[in-house]
């Protein structure tokens, strides 16, 4: 049993120390699931995000829907400002169409918020308070 634990720890240590290659571009897209239904989904094109999300999100860190919506309005505005100005073009490759009058649901708002946190953490791009909101 101790041998398996020791071998497992060595494998995790080697895996944790191996270099991680980051994608140079990333994007998020909000889409309506169907014409007759008002459910929305978010598509994040970054294979590293799912792993990061699993490691960083927990229900203990959950916020209210209103909190996510307020933060996402700031994050989307800053994201789109960066895109329009050409800043961080190696990472931000598209606009995000997030409308304040649409209820996307808690799951979409939560995932978009955590995606912005991921971008801040991995690429050091300030989305919540680094670029002036116009």
Mean residue pLDDT of the chain comes to 80
Q: Which of 19-23, 73-77, 81-85, 93-97 has the lowest mean pLDDT?
A: 19-23
In this prediction the pTM is 0.72
- Rounded to an integer, what is the distance from CA 43 to the centroid of its chain? 10
Q: What confidence score (pLDDT) does residue 38 get?
A: 75
Q: What confidence score (pLDDT) does residue 12 get?
A: 45
- How does DSSP assign 63-88, residue by residue? --HHHHHHHHHHHHHHHHHHHHHTTT
Contacts of 91 (CB under 8 A, 6+ apart): 24, 25, 26, 119, 123, 125
Q: What confidence score (pLDDT) does residue 19 get?
A: 41
Average pLDDT over residues 80-105: 94
């Amino acid at each position: 049993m101790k041998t398996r634990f020791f071998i497992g720890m060595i494998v995790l240590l080697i895996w944790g120390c191996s270099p991680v290659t980051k994608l140079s571009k990333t994007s998020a897209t909000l889409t309506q699931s169907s014409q007759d239904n008002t459910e929305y989904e978010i598509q994040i094109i970054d294979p590293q995000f799912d792993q990061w999300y699993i490691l960083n999100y927990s229900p203990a860190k959950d916020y209210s829907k209103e909190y996510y919506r307020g933060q996402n309005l700031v994050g989307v505005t800053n994201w789109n400002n960066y895109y329009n100005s050409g800043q961080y073009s190696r990472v931000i490759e598209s606009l995000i169409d997030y409308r304040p009058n649409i209820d996307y649901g808690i799951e979409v708002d939560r995932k978009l918020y955590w995606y912005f946190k991921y971008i801040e953490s991995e690429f050091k791009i300030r989305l919540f308070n680094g670029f002036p909101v116009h």
